[in-house]
Amino acid sequence: MLSTVLKYLEEKHVCPHCKQELTLCNAPPIHVGDGLGWGSEYLFICLNNECSLFVNGWKHIENQYGHVGSYRYMEIPGSNENYNMMVAGKDAFTGSVVDIEAMKQQNKRYQEEKKAEALLPTCLEEKNLEPVLFLLLDEAANIEIRKKAAAMLVPLNDLECVEPLRNHSFRDTSLEQEVNLAVSAILTKHYMKECPYCAELIKARAKVCKHCSKDLD
Ligand SMILES: [Zn+2]
Ligand SMILES: [Zn+2]
C-alpha cells in the first residue's frame, strides 16, 4: 500500500482547466455519481479554488440541478481516466490530502527496518549488535521480527546492548519481558550486575558500588 502511494507520488497530473498540478488524495469510499467504487484508493484532484471548472461549476449545477455545488477535476492514478466530480463545497477534499512528507518518512523507516531484518541471519557470526538494537528500539517495526532480534541478544552476549535497552520503553510487554530476561542473562554471563542505586554495571561480587559508593548488602 505504501509502495503504491510512493509510486503515485512520482506521477505528475495536471488540470486541463487551470494547468495546476493535481493533489494526491485518499479516495472517498463511494463514487459520488453512480454509487460504484473508484477502483483506486487514491485520486489526483484539482484543489485549486481559482480553477475555471470549479469557479463556473456553481452556476452550472444550480441551473442544471437546482442545488448548491460545483465540480472538482480528478484523474485516477496510473491512468488518464478523468472525471468532473460533484462537490458540495470547497473543503470537500482538503481533509483527505495524502501527507507526502509523512509517507516519505514512513517509507524511510520501513526501508531501514528491512535492511536491519536482512542483517539478522548473519549478525551472530559477524558479532553485529547494530541491526538487533535497531529493530528492538524501533517501536514501529514488525513485532515478530523484533522478537527474532530479541532472541539474538543472549547469543551475541554484548554488554553494549544493556544501556540502550534499559533506556527504552517498550510498548509490547511480552517483548519487554524477553529483553529484560536477555539482559539479566548477559549480565550473569559477564559476572556483572546493575547497581540498584545508580544503575551502573558493577561486578556481581561487589559489596560496595564503585560508582556511587553505596553499600550493596
Ligand atoms: Zn483545475
Ligand atoms: Zn551505584
CA of 58 to the centre of ligand 1 (A): 14
Q: Same structural domain for residues 118 and 151?
A: yes
In a domain, 216, yes or no: no
CA of 195 to the centre of ligand 2 (A): 5
In a domain, 90, yes or no: yes
Task: Give the model confidence (pLDDT) of 23-73 as tens digits.
Answer: 999 887 665 555 456 778 889 999 999 999 999 999 999 999 998 999 999
Q: Which of 48, 66, 96 is the last residue of a domain?
A: 96
CA of 184 to the centre of ligand 2 (A): 17
Q: Which of 61, 96, 131 is the last residue of a domain?
A: 96
Ligand whose nearest atom lies closest to the CA of 210: 2
- The two counts, helices (H) then strands (E), for the chain are 7, 6
Q: Same structural domain for residues 84 and 121?
A: no
Query: What Rg, from alpha-carbon coordinates, does the chain have?
Result: 28
Q: Which of 37, 69, 96 is the last residue of a domain?
A: 96
Task: Give the model confidence (pLDDT) of 72-124 as tens digits.
Answer: 999 999 888 999 999 998 888 888 898 888 888 888 999 999 999 999 999 99
In a domain, 66, yes or no: yes
CA atoms of 76 and 38, how far apart (whole Å): 8
In a domain, 154, yes or no: yes
CA of 103 to the centre of ligand 2 (A): 44
Q: How many domains does the chain have?
A: 2
**What are the φ and ψ backbone dihedral angles of 151, each rounded to 5 degrees?**
-65, -15
Q: Same structural domain for residues 64 and 132?
A: no
In a domain, 106, yes or no: no
Q: Same structural domain for residues 10 and 91?
A: yes
- Rounded to two decimals, the pTM is 0.67
Q: Which domain holds residue 85?
A: 2-96
CA atoms of 90 and 95, how far apart (whole Å): 11
Q: Same structural domain for residues 64 and 16?
A: yes
Ligand whose nearest atom lies closest to the CA of 193: 2
Question: Residue 51 carries which side chain, given as an amino acid letter?
Answer: C
- 54 burial level (CB within 10 Å; 0-12, 13-18, 19+): buried
Query: Which pLDDT score, from 0 to 100, does residue 166 have?
Result: 95
Q: Same structural domain for residues 91 and 133?
A: no
CA of 188 to the centre of ligand 2 (A): 17
Query: Which of 43, 48, 42, 44 has the alpha carbon at shortest distance from 19?
Result: 48
